[in-house]
Amino acid sequence: MQRKILIYNSQTENSISTKELLSKKLIEKNFTIVSELDSEVELIVCIGGDGTFLDLIHEFDFPEIPIIGINTGHLGFFQEIMPDRLDEFIDNYINQKYSIQSMQTVMAHVYHNGTCEELKGLNEIIIASNANYAYSVHFDISIGGSFIERFSGDGLLVSTPAGSTAYNYSLGGSIVDPRLRLLQATPIAPMNTTAYRSFTSSILLPPDLSMEVKPVDNSSKVKITIAFDGFSKFFDNVSNIEVSLSETNVKLLRLESYDFWSKVKSKFL
Ligand code: NAP
């Protein structure tokens, strides 16, 4: 039986030529290359940067099979290898010299207009205003059912450990080892004055507690944007948003040389 591998790539010249070369090498080893996901596909290869990786996750609705990233983008935090290591990857894959890194995801249940919509992110869920930060938002925040505070500012970002190195890090949030099961809520431009009191540092949530965010002023002005991994949706009449760890995991194929903290050092320090 032929073994099927799906290759997903960005449209840069480097990604397209890497895909052609990799396809040729895999076909020589008796693999079949496909672009549609079905139950016989055993591995997805993602050629591009982290943005391409996030596009893939959302386009295929958080696939359950392992994914390996080949970095032809800028940062490539999710991506495992550079295009000059294709032979090493194929050899390691055939000889099962790899491990699977399981990445947690975060979900938001958005209650609005009498319905509930679920959104998911591998990096993060952001709850903000919908006018390019033209006005501040005011949220009543509860954790595990306990009221914590009324937050005022641009918004709130809730990141997974995988997303802790993305927007969360730019906001001053902590880098989290993906072996830890937690969510990190980081404020975006919190207002901390005599008029408004908002937390200014990140809050870490254990896996079994959710964060409840209730827009305070539900007038027509208060329209909410929920952003997830670089995508966004606008909502009006939002009564409540519940953010929690999702049961869905994304599996990354890592070669034996992979080490999270070495990757952090090479990309950030
Ligand atoms: P983008 O705006 O084109 O790229 C944002 C940058 O974040 C890229 O350099 C990307 O890497 C990198 N990145 C994405 N996920 C990462 C992760 N888990 N760890 C470290 N770096 C990561 O948008 P995009 O490429 O579609 O990515 C969407 C993400 O951008 C969102 O999930 C959010 O976290 C991030 N973002 C960051 C800021 C900020 O830092 N101020 C603002 C908005 C959004 P590549 O170069 O390899 O693609």
Bridge partners (DSSP) listed for residue 106: 121, 245
Residue 253 in 3-state DSSP? strand
DSSP-derived secondary structure letter, 57: H
Q: What is the pLDDT of residues 146-155, one digit of tens each?
A: 999 999 999 9
Amino acid in the structure at residue 251: K
pLDDT band at 2 (very low <50, low <70, confident <90, very high): confident
**Ligand 1 geometric centre to CA of 268 (Å):** 13
Instruction: Note the helical H segments in 45-100.
Output: 50-59, 86-94
Confidence band (pLDDT; 50, 70, 90) for 223? Answer: confident
Cα(93)–Cα(70) distance, rounded to whole angstroms?
Answer: 14
pLDDT digits (tens, 9 = 90+) for 83-137: 999 999 999 999 999 999 999 999 999 999 999 999 999 999 999 987 676 788 9
Tokens linked to 132: 């390019």
Q: Is 9 in the pocket of ligand 1 (CB under 6 A)?
A: no
pTM above 0.85, yes or no: yes
Q: What is the pLDDT of residue 221?
A: 54
Other CB atoms within 10 A of residue 36 CB: 8
- Whole-number Å distance between alpha carbons of 82 and 48: 10
Residue identifier of the C-alpha nearest atom 4 of ligand 1: 51
Mutate to test the pocket of ligand 1, among 11, 46, 50, 168 (most ligand atoms within 8 A of CB): 50
**Residue 259 confidence (pLDDT) above 90:** yes
Residue 133's identity, in one-letter code, is Y
Please report, for residues 43, 50, 190, 221, the alpha-carbon distance to residue 196 in angstroms, rounded to integers and kept in the order given. Answer: 50, 37, 9, 19
Pocket of ligand 1 contains residue 163 by CB under 6 Å: yes
Give the residue-averaged pLDDT of 219-226. Answer: 73
Whole-number Å distance, alpha carbon 54 to ligand 1 midpoint, is 9
The b/e string for 126-142 (b: 16+ C-beta within 10 A; e otherwise) is bbbbbeeeeebbbbebb
